[in-house]
A and B are shown apart, each in its own frame.
Chain A
Amino acid sequence: MSKPDFVYVTYIRTTIDKLWEALTKPEFTRQYWFGIEQRSDWTKGASWQLVAQDGRVFDSGEIVEIEPKRRVVIAWHHQVYDEMRAEGPGQATYELEPVGEAVKLTITHSGGPKLIAGVSRGWPSILAGLKSLLETGRALDMPK
C-alpha cells in the first residue's frame, strides 16, 4: 500500500469504549468538531456524512471497512469547495489501540493535494478538542 498523505497520532487518557463513542456519536462530535456532526450507522457499506449545524454536508462517502472500537476506513469525498470536490474521494482511517492508561488514536488520510492541505490543518485542532473533552469534560475554545 502506498504511504498515506497525512498521519496524526494522539494519546488520550480514556478507555477504548469512551473514545469510540466520542468518535462516532453526533452528540459528541458536535462538541469538538467545530459543531459538525459525523453521521453514519457505522456498518460496512453504510453512508457517512459530515454535516454542519446549518445543514450543509461538508463531506460524504461510505464506510469501506469497520472493526468496531478498533479501526474504521472511510471513503471521504469533500462536497462544499469546488476545487477540493473535483479531486474526487480520498480515504481516512481511524485506528484505536490501548497503550498503558491511554488509548493511541491514529488518523491517516489520503487524497488530492487540496483535501490533504485542508485536513492537515483540521485534524490537529479537532483531535486536540476531542482529547480535552475526554480528559477534562470540556473541548477547546478556538477559532475555526
Chain B
Amino acid sequence: MNISEFKPAIVYTIYIAATPERVWQALTSAEFSRQYFSGLAVELEAKVGGTFVMRAPDGSSHISGEVLEHEPPRKLTVTWNVNWPGLVEALGPTLVTYLIEPAGDVVRLTLLESHDRPLSDDILSGGRLGWPAFLSSLKSLLETGRAPTIQMQPPQRMLEALQQLGIKVPGR
C-alpha cells in the first residue's frame, strides 16, 4: 500500500494538558480506549507491520488493520478497516494517523482520517460525528481522570449510504 496516495478527508485537532507519552499511552492501551472509545479495546502490536485491532466488548474485532507508521510518542498510522462485510471492497482502505506535538506546556493531538478516493459527505458523516466525541472524551479522561458518557448512534445517512453500496450493516 502506498501511503502517499491517501488524502486526509477528516482532520481534527485538540489540545490536551498532558505529556506526549501519556497521550500515546491513552491512544494505544485498551484500559484507556475502553473509557473514551465507545467501549472498544485497542490492541496494537508495537512495530511497523504489526497488527492493529479495536475489539468490541463481546470479543469481536470491530476494526482491524496494520501498523504503518510507529514513532512513539509522536506519530502513529494504522489501516483502520471496519469489519462490515463488503465495506473495504466498496470504500477502499481507511488510514488513521495520530500526530502528537508539544505546544507550550500542553500537547496538540491531530487526527487524520485518510482515503485513497473521494468519499461522499454521507459516508464521512460517521467519522465527523465520532472523532470529536472520542477525542473530547480522551481529553477529559487525561485531564480529570474520567471520560464523560456521550451516547451516540451511527448517523442514519451514513448507514443508508453504506447499504446502497451493498455493504452489510449489522442489525439492518
Contact = CB atoms under 8 A, between A and B. Distances in A.
Contact of B143 (A11, A102, A132): A132
Contact of A13 (B128, B132, B140): B140
Contacts of A86: none
A11 B15 contact: no
A125 B150 contact: no
Contacts, number: 72
Interface stretch (B50-58, B76-84, B87-95, B101-109): B101-109
Nearest to A14: B148
A9 B137 CA distance: 12
Contacts of B17: 132, 136, 138, 140-141
A135 B143 contact: yes
A9 B111 CA distance: 14
Main secondary structure of the interface of A (DSSP, over half): mixed
Interface of B: 13-17, 103-106, 128, 132-133, 136-137, 139-140, 143-144, 148-152
A142 B148 contact: no
B150 A12 contact: no
A117 to B, nearest CB: 14
Contacts of A142: 15, 103-106
Nearest to B132: A9
A12 B103 contact: no
Contact of A140 (B106, B136, B151): B106
Contact of B15 (A8, A9, A129): A129
B140 A135 contact: yes
